[in-house]
Amino acid sequence: MKNSTYKKIYFTGSILISIWFGLSGFFELTHNPAVWDITQKLGYPAHFIYILGVFKILGVTILLIPNRFKRLKEWVFVGMYFDIIFAFFSKIAVLEPSSVIDTCVAITILSVTYFSFNRINHVIYTAKDLNT
């Protein structure tokens, strides 16, 4: 594939993931029942839900800044993977198996986006990259 194709895939995936995590973070911070009730049903305490909301908003912000913070974006992707994986297994343990469809969609979009990110940036870090 051409580099421009990977850029389009990365851009589209970043927007979709940012909408997903941005809305989720916003709903967690505003105590929206659509997210809050399910997260509490899964057994997570209230203070943890607020922390998730803050980090989701920060992660989306970093992800949407173009051509900067490549190493930090790697950490954002890792955090998003952890969030989705924990949600997947929490839903399997507490809710019915059909409740994990959204996490399967999210992990697929996130994986394709991350793969495209790596293809675009070639992820070879030097000391200079620590400052970008």
Query: Does residue 106 register a pLDDT over 80?
Result: yes
Residue 79 is predicted with a pLDDT of 96
| Residue 64 token pair | 């949407």
CB hemisphere CA count around 60 (13 angstroms): 17
pLDDT in tens, 7-53: 999 999 999 999 999 999 999 999 999 888 889 998 899 999 999 99
**What ranges do the domains of the chain cover?**
3-131
pLDDT in tens, 43-57: 899 999 999 999 999
What are the DSSP E strand ranges found in the chain?
none
Over range 115-123, report the average pLDDT.
85
Reference 87, options 19, 29, 20; nearest CA is: 20
Q: 103: pLDDT confidence band, cut at 50, 70 and 90?
A: very high
Residue 83 is predicted with a pLDDT of 95
pLDDT in tens, 77-92: 999 999 999 999 999 9
Q: Work out the widest C-alpha separation in the chain, in whole angstroms.
A: 48
